[in-house]
Structure 1
Amino acid sequence: MPQRTTAPSNASAAPPRAEWTGQFGFILSAIGSAVGLGNIWRFPGVAYENGGGAFLIPYIVALLTAGIPILFLDYAIGHRFRGSAPLALRRIAGRFGEGIGWFQVMICVFIAIYYTAVLAWAASYFIFSFDLRWGDDATGFFTGDYLRLADSSFTLDFVPAVLIPLVIMWLLTIAVLGAGVVKGIQAANLIAMPLLVVGFLILVVRALFLPGAVDGLNALFTPDFAALADPTVWIAAYGHIFFSLSVAFGIMLTYSSYRRRRSNMTTPGLVVAFANSSFEILAAVGVFATLGFFAFQQGIAVDQLEGLTGVGLAFMTFPAIVAEMPGGQFFGALFFGSLVLAGLTSLISILEVILAGVIDKFGIPRRTAVYSIGGGLAIVSILLFGTSTGLIALDTIDNWANNIGIVSSAIVMTVTVLWVRRAGGELSRHLSALSTFRVGRGWLFFVSLVVPVVLGFMLVATIRQLFQEPYGGYDELYLLIAGWGSIAIMVIGAIALTASPWRSDPERFTPWPSLPVSRAAGAEGGAR
């Protein structure tokens, strides 16, 4: 472990760190980050395609053995070492740890750039819902009239209908972040999350009373226990839990660094994890009740429908359903309004990872960082996703950032912190000293062995598949530039930022509370 002392340094001391006003503000903000677009448009489809009701078994197992353990790891690192991803990981694992932190920041840079585009689409469709502007051809309207999707991956024609909401979403997000951790992020979540829950509950109740809703729920929850023998079903469960909780790419680590010194860490973690899963199941009920109605209207079975997940579900299938149901304008406004609220709170947390890292390292005032970095990312986002190839770019970068970038980050972070630096014992004792229940050997086993092994298997399988066939049927040169090029830029950016000097000495720090760190104690965190 690197020595952490309050020894004098030529660098100036860091300014006091911002803090949440209390546990409720932190929990609501963390839930706001975890509950995002994937809860609404990804989980229902993943569950349906992987055993229906039976999928809940590997889902819960994955939550308990990987999701919550790595969530606790993020909490422990961020809270004990009081910093953004680069700063906290520097304090626990030296310069290599800092590099991992900057890689996580770079992942957030790419996600923020395309995530805002989806928010812009959802905001547009919120307005479109009031007059059902997509008419009888929801798919044609989305890809043609709205996005003006180009045939070539390299076409860069600007689309005014996307540019305006894209600019508005960036301005709104920058305004929230500029107001600070408490007056901006916490206040936004205090407003957005209750609105999201109430609005989505109304949507679900309405969906349950639609003709055919029961058929949709039967299609979703009828268990196919034979699917449990398929390893890919279990991998899908671990993959979804991992992405859904916003872990291992700096968000929960950064948010926990804003908690007060004497703060319960484990109980809020359980609240966040189970609140996120509860919302996913609620979303699945609402989505499949609605899909059941759509199948009923067409006189077909639910399994004959197309577009049951992702962008297709949100912007092609759902608008088509809304156009056929009584009161469709209200239902559509609720759905797309929920997408905006869920996506906005997640986007704020993603950008906060970037801002916290830059502020910690370079000592830039918060508002200066927000306006300069936010403005720069907004320009890039507009240039890339305000064009006729926005959907192709989003699909490609999202796949590489999540399935390659985040998974790699999690593997390297857990191996470095728990196997190389052998800090598991220290982090375990930190969580236990401040929480209502102790974590020990069970947590260490899952986070140091199960997580890297499962994620390592996922990473190898993903890379093999990407090399076997072009992703999405896109041009191979385009995939090389947009996909693998994104990962290359993340790595180069992480190296360059790690090499730059600190404004304040990162080693001028003493972890609290003081814990005995003997050689034997430290060995508790090693691999077994």
Structure 2
Amino acid sequence: MEESREQWGSKIGFIIAAIGSAVGLGNIWRFPYIAYTNGGGAFLIPYFFAIFTAGIPLLILEYGLGHKFKGSTPVAIAKVKKKWEWLGWWPTINAFIILTYYSMILSWAANYLWFSFNKSWGSDTNQFFHTDFIKLSSSPFEFGGFVFPILIGILVVWAINWFICYKGVKKGIEKANKFLLPTLVIIMIIIAIRAINLEGASIGLNTLFTPDWSKVFDPKVWVAAYGQVFFSLSLAMGIMITYSSYLPKKTDINNSAFMTAFANCGFEFLSAIAVFSILGFMANIKGVPMSEVVSSGVGLAFVVFPAVFSEMGAVGTFLGVLFFICLLFAGVTSSVSLIEAVSAPFIDKFGWARNKVVAVICIIGIAIGSLYSTGAGLYLLDIIDNFINNYGIVVVGLLEVVLIGWISNADVVRKHTNEISYFKIGKWWNICVKFVTPAILLFMLVQSVLTEIKTPYGGYQLSALFAYGWSIIGFGIILALIISKKKWKKDSLLDNNSLEL
């Protein structure tokens, strides 16, 4: 089995693909806002602490599992503890759910790339986005009809994903990332250089980086730092375990984890500089404080930034085109990694052909994704994304470290990565996996639950939160348990290399 398994063409190909997965929309529209609201420059202390005590240790853990057991997430988890195989399927299902709404956001970005050539969003970008473009309905249960420009965009995005993943790991994913990631970085550098030369850019940068040291002692800031690192590195989604399973026997796992984490971190800083320089320009033009123009997520990308680009004249057209290309490229490198994380487990377990698995995933993805092109699409995105991130991914990550750190033997993974890496990791890694990371993830989970009880998310009706939130989490767990009970076609996958004690 191991001989016939696909492999990356080179170590750098693997690292570029891993960085491509980590570098996503969150780096561009989430990190700058998180840093701004959590102490600016002072946020860097908990942020780097989180990278060293959670981000890198978890990357080493997932790289080590995938490489040692030469299989996707369910294979790796089942080889650690057979009864826990379901824990490998849950992130697989979560990854697919994320894919369904990710395609809608990329469709928006593709449409806005087209709009940016003549700034057809007009003067009221908020009205244009919510009413004219996505045709937002009045309730999460009111779907209305399909919005065809968004539906067509979703079809195109899935077609691109299919084309890349259909070709396989080396000829598809690696080749695409070798073009997309460097191009993405070059474009973001161009945007950042142009942005810091805008009038008022210094206002934005001073706002972003001026440290508020009092925030360093706020536990919520530390939770925000760990959350940002955890989500931005594609952890607990099955991606990194799957990607590392395609590595050759002799690979420097430890160094690869550090390179992936710091490259992702560097892109986040680059994005923050570009974003806040542009927002500083806007604050200067309008004569308002930064707090009135700062935003994150969908609002930043599709409401605030188009308004800024409209104020810039020809420069705005140039930056607008580059910005939406950036969103597209960042999204495609991430969505391709999600498709691989979903398809590899089915190929491993049932022995199905890659081309059939990828095609079926894309067809089902289009069918479900089309619901997001209705008037309720933004509501669905908002609720499902919140529950998948705060409960699905956090719980998977928590159970992952409990399984390796407490139920099994973390030293087996550490010794494996040390044997094939240039520099060795010490017992600090065990401490992070057994104590630091589980404690932080448990705290994040408890905080989310308590907040949910006090004030239901987003002010939505409980019926909507149950229909699109809690039920999605429940569905993921139940489906994971059902699939894990199915017989392995390739039993040899589970015969050797077990961590079972």
Task: Indicate the TM-score class for this superposition, using the shorter chain for normalisation.
Answer: over 0.9
Moved more, 485-494 or 500-509: 500-509
- Following superposition of structure 1 onto structure 2, how do residues 188-199 of structure 1 map, counting pairs within 5 Å? 188-199=176-187
SS of 2:491's equivalent?
coil
Q: 2:298 aligns with which of 311, 319, 328?
A: 311
SS of 1:374's equivalent?
helix
Percent identity reads 42
Deviation string for 1:142-164 (max 9, x for gaps)?
10110000001111221112111
Aligned to 1:155: 142
Deviation string for 1:228-286 (max 9, x for gaps)?
11110011000100001111221111100000011111111111100000000000000
- Following superposition of structure 1 onto structure 2, how do residues 223-238 of structure 1 map, counting pairs within 5 Å? 223-238=211-226
Q: 1:201 aligns with which of 181, 189, 213?
A: 189
- 1:14 to 1:277, Cα distance in 2 relative to 1, 3 A: closer
Deviation string for 1:32-79 (max 9, x for gaps)?
000000000000000000000110111000001111001110011000
Q: 1:388 aligns with which of 353, 375, 394?
A: 375
Structure 1 consecutive aligned stretches of length 4 or more whose deviation exceeds 3 Å: 506-512
- Following superposition of structure 1 onto structure 2, how do residues 490-501 of structure 1 map, counting pairs within 5 Å? 490-501=476-487
The yes-or-no answer on 1:414 pairing with 2:420 is no
In 1: Cα distance, 2:229 partner to 2:249 partner: 28
The yes-or-no answer on 1:468 pairing with 2:446 is no
Matched-pair contact (CA < 8 Å) for 1:87–1:506: no
- Following superposition of structure 1 onto structure 2, how do residues 238-277 of structure 1 map, counting pairs within 5 Å? 238-277=226-265
SS of 2:310's equivalent?
helix
Matched-pair contact (CA < 8 Å) for 1:26–1:186: yes
In 1: Cα distance, 2:354 partner to 2:272 partner: 39
- 1:410 to 1:328, Cα distance in 2 relative to 1, 3 A: same
Report the TM-score, using the length of structure 1 for normalisation. Answer: 0.93
In 1: Cα distance, 2:487 partner to 2:460 partner: 41
SS of 1:77's equivalent?
helix
Deviation at 1:103, TM superposition (A): 0.6
- Following superposition of structure 1 onto structure 2, how do residues 426-437 of structure 1 map, counting pairs within 5 Å? 426-437=412-423
Deviation string for 1:76-97 (max 9, x for gaps)?
100001100001111112121x
In 2: Cα distance, 1:100 partner to 1:368 partner: 25
Runs (5+) with no aligned partner, structure 2: none
Matched-pair contact (CA < 8 Å) for 1:14–1:363: no
Task: Give, as a single letter, the amino acid of the residue that structure 1 aligns with 2:40.
Answer: G
Task: Give, as a single letter, the amino acid of the residue that structure 1 aligns with 2:282.
Answer: F
Aligned to 2:166: 178
Deviation string for 1:334-364 (max 9, x for gaps)?
0010000001000110111110011001100
The yes-or-no answer on 1:127 pairing with 2:114 is yes
The yes-or-no answer on 1:51 pairing with 2:35 is no
Aligned to 1:278: 266
Matched-pair contact (CA < 8 Å) for 1:292–1:302: yes
In 2: Cα distance, 1:429 partner to 1:194 partner: 33
In 2: Cα distance, 1:177 partner to 1:408 partner: 28
SS of 2:81's equivalent?
helix
Deviation at 1:510, TM superposition (A): 3.5
Moved more, 41-50 or 320-329: 320-329
Aligned to 2:385: 398
In 2: Cα distance, 1:172 partner to 1:24 partner: 23
Deviation at 1:509, TM superposition (A): 4.3
Deviation at 1:447, TM superposition (A): 1.2
Task: Give, as a single letter, the amino acid of the residue that structure 2 aligns with 1:389.
Answer: A
Aligned to 1:455: 441
In 2: Cα distance, 1:398 partner to 1:53 partner: 28
In 2: Cα distance, 1:14 partner to 1:285 partner: 44
Deviation at 1:413, TM superposition (A): 1.2
Task: State how many pairs are aligned.
Answer: 499
Matched-pair contact (CA < 8 Å) for 1:107–1:405: yes
Aligned to 1:9: none
Matched-pair contact (CA < 8 Å) for 1:84–1:253: yes
In 2: Cα distance, 1:208 partner to 1:42 partner: 20
The yes-or-no answer on 1:213 pairing with 2:201 is yes
Aligned to 1:4: none
Deviation string for 1:432-483 (max 9, x for gaps)?
0000111131100001110011000000110111122121111210111100
Q: 1:441 aligns with which of 415, 427, 447?
A: 427
Aligned to 1:331: 319
Matched-pair contact (CA < 8 Å) for 1:93–1:417: no
SS of 2:483's equivalent?
helix
Alignment RMSD (CA, Å):
1.4
In 1: Cα distance, 2:42 partner to 2:455 partner: 30
In 2: Cα distance, 1:398 partner to 1:346 partner: 15
In 1: Cα distance, 2:440 partner to 2:277 partner: 33
Task: Give, as a single letter, the amino acid of the residue that structure 1 aligns with 2:254.
Answer: T
Deviation at 1:508, TM superposition (A): 4.9
Deviation at 1:416, TM superposition (A): 1.4
Task: Give, as a single letter, the amino acid of the residue that structure 2 aligns with 1:495.
Answer: L
Deviation at 1:506, TM superposition (A): 4.7
Aligned to 1:526: none
Aligned to 1:8: none
In 2: Cα distance, 1:296 partner to 1:226 partner: 27
SS of 2:78's equivalent?
helix
Task: Give, as a single letter, the amino acid of the residue that structure 2 aligns with 1:477.
Answer: S
In 1: Cα distance, 2:34 partner to 2:466 partner: 27
Matched-pair contact (CA < 8 Å) for 1:55–1:228: yes
Matched-pair contact (CA < 8 Å) for 1:17–1:258: yes
Q: 2:16 aligns with which of 5, 13, 28?
A: 28
Aligned to 1:6: none
Deviation at 1:15, TM superposition (A): 7.5
Matched-pair contact (CA < 8 Å) for 2:204–2:277: yes
